[in-house]
Amino acid sequence: MSGQAEVVIVTLDPDIERLAARLHNEGISATSVEQYADARLAIDRAERCVAVVDGDLPSELAAQVQRLLQGPQPIPTLMLVSSESYQQLALNPQRPALVEYVAKPARLDELVLRVKAVMLRAGYELPATSHGSGNGHSEGADLDGFHHGTVTTVFSAKGGVGKTTIAANLAVGLMRFFRRKTLLVDADLWFGDVGVLLNLVSKKSLFDVCSGGEPDLTALQKAVVQHRSGVSVLLRPPDPLFVE
């Protein structure tokens, strides 16, 4: 299953209706409806669909919508529920596989991220955020704007605890969900395996940037490789001799 999906929001709450506009700003097609007939029409028209359902719908409308979403082809759904019922529903081992829950009230930016997570879990694509090359990376990435960034360090004195996995997923998440330009630096000079995890190879590395003492920003632009996710990556030196 691939391709982008239409998001159908079923709510009577004006604050939640604003989610459609926020999703449009993210490049995601979204429609907000208040009636069962409109919800069914929007879902029938969509080749791929994700639903966002307000848990405070009138009981009759809520029942109709639930039957629609749990039909022969269940639709991935984000349910907005009260904080009192959230924990019970979210931890229920028998909950529907394609249903996720979020407690109300929820900020719009949180809802946008939740919708994206539901889309990814269902196998749908998010709008493209980068233009990588066919082999998944390109050298000489554009670093404009990085000087206004924030540095986050993932560190552990013990190996094999997941530093690389956490750092790589954090970088990709910042790029895909928050649209932040992200530079992932593999500073584990001896054993770093960011390149292996992301399937990236480059003749340039951290050595080319720092070998002269002070970081060379011109060399940095040439040393960075671009992952297909949109994350820029600065790899560790490929030869242990460079580490010395």
List per-block mean pLDDT (blocks of 10 residues) for the chain, which spans 244 residues. 79 92 90 92 89 92 90 88 81 77 86 86 73 44 55 80 90 83 85 86 79 69 86 81 56
- In total, how many domains does the chain have? 2
Residue 31 structural domain: 6-121
Provide the pLDDT for residue 146. 47
For residue 132, the model assigns a pLDDT of 39
On whether both 113 and 163 belong to a single domain, the answer is: no
Residue 213: the pLDDT is 65
pTM: 0.55
- Burial, 227: exposed, middle or buried (Cβ in 10 Å; 0-12, 13-18, 19+)? buried
Burial 14-25 (b: 16+ CB within 10 A, else e): eebeebbeebee
Question: Are 100 and 51 in contact, with CB atoms under 8 Å apart?
Answer: no
Report the sign of the C-alpha dihedral through residues 84, 87, 76, 229, in that order: positive
Tokens of residue 99, six digits: 């249903």
In a domain, 126, yes or no: no
pLDDT recorded at residue 133:
38
Residue 158, domain member (yes or no)? yes
- Judge if 37 and 111 occupy the same domain: yes
* Residue (of 148, 215, 144) closest to 185 by Cα position: 215
pLDDT of residue 20: 92
> Domain for residue 127, yes or no?
no
In angstroms, the Cα distances linking 197 to 147, 150, 174 are 26, 23, 18
pLDDT at 35: 93
